[in-house]
Chain A
């Protein structure tokens, strides 16, 4: 329904002068959005197919004169994009699975099983929301390099991303708040049927929690896909790097030509652009819900 009233009434926008102004503003805004938000991406893709000579011209060409789609292949090979994308996908999916499993279990325990000192635990977890990531950067790096008690070095392993990723207070908070709204009666009914704690989680809580699981999943995956500073520190071995870190390293070397760099950037943009096109609604609505509830 598009009838809810906003700042300016439908009637004002439909009448003579209002209609004219509305059309002008709408058109100007559309042009501005295309220029500001979409044109740079066109520039990236079209820059990739231009020749290096054409790219270096002081007056740029809007439409490529020469056409070199093979640049994408060159960039793929020279920048070694395949393995770096694979690394990143592996870290993102593994981290997502781990976060979902561990944080759902923890939030379920805090929300429904309510053990002694559960509130203290929750408070301590939420307190870390107040810790800006950067404040923990250096000590967290040293921790990962020599994990206390276990005495292992996680640097250059996926665990350096996965395990700190699990300690995500935002996930716990969102999940617990959602689980809190599931009536205890439903769980009690399952208990009468002889379901254990795990069956209750699996058969009752999780099927009801699809929306919140979707939101947590999407933001976990986007978050690790975009993460830069932490992987930069803990994945210094080029073999293990994400494409973000690898491209940052290679950008300084003059190892590839400008058009190849454009092609590389375009390639690594594709996965998330597709994800956005497919899941646009859930992503934007998840964000909106976050804004309203804080």
Chain B
């Protein structure tokens, strides 16, 4: 910068000491100005991201009624959470939801993207249609499916009985409840994964397929030896993103099966219950949040590491 723009002061250098002092003053002014630009963002991060993190951890070791001073209770909150018979249920349900969501929401969009990517017509329509539900407000997809699932007048049972198949109680049946939730969530969210897979597929160099075909590779072999290895990174990223997102599932059980149904109580629903419904026990809610955080942090850390590495 100095070579480009010799300022007046540099053309006629003042004595060394004042010059050094001037440079220091400039540096301080520059830093102050930079932090002025940063200030509001910094305050928001401090108040609503960093402070809550610390507060959450502290709270998990406290009993606080928000009237008198909070009381340190050691591991009592964690003990209470672990002793709750719903603790294991919630984790089991959450993993079940995540597992089923991966089965549908991870594999199906990939197959769809694989097929749609081969289309020479109407690609725009497919991209539009699959992403349309993602644009809907979540309350719309959830309530709409609630009507579909209605055992009496719902569309699904009407269609099933129309073609002579057994009907189901869907969200009201212990066996189908979780699957029902996964189906809504998948319908509402799979567009994102599909679009990202399509983006990944579009970057695979055509020569690789060309060469594989010349070597006599069948379509399946091309998928196995060209597509999958080339898509490894995108697949891994989406797998992690999906695990992180689905383990925090909330609106589907909240709206479709309620917060008290043991078949579908998830970790987030349990945290919500601790803090905002039955017990108003923020200490227990905080302890449960810390546990969820520890589980998710492993996935998150892996995700951030992978994306940062790809960036470099």
Contact = CB atoms under 8 A, between A and B. Distances in A.
Interface string B146-183: 11100011010010001000000000000000000000
Contact of A40 (B144, B223, B234): B144
B71 interface: no
Interface in A187-216: 188, 191-192, 197
Interface string A1-38: 01011111110010000000010011001100110111
Interface in B170-203: 187, 192, 195-203
Nearest to B310: A294
Interface stretch (B16-24, B78-86, B295-303): B295-303
> How many interface residues does chain B have, given as a range?
35 or more
Interface in A136-152: 136-144, 147-149
Contacts of A291: 195-197, 199-200, 234, 237-238
Interface in B269-307: 271, 275-276, 282, 285-286, 289-290, 292-293, 296-297, 300-301, 304, 306-307
B237 to A, nearest CB: 6
Nearest to B150: A258
A2 B223 contact: no
A86 interface: no
A26 B59 contact: no
B311 interface: yes
A164 interface: yes
Given A57-B153, A129-B304, A135 B129 contact: no
A91 interface: no
B126 interface: yes
B207 interface: yes
Closest 4 CB pairs of A and B: A5-B206, A294-B307, A291-B196, A288-B199
Interface of B: 1, 4-5, 30-31, 33-35, 37-38, 40-42, 44-45, 47-53, 55-56, 59, 114-122, 125-133, 135-140, 143-148, 152-153, 155, 158, 162, 187, 192, 195-204, 206-207, 209-210, 213, 219, 222-223, 226-227, 234, 237-238, 244, 247-248, 250-251, 254-255, 268, 271, 275-276, 282, 285-286, 289-290, 292-293, 296-297, 300-301, 304, 306-308, 310-311
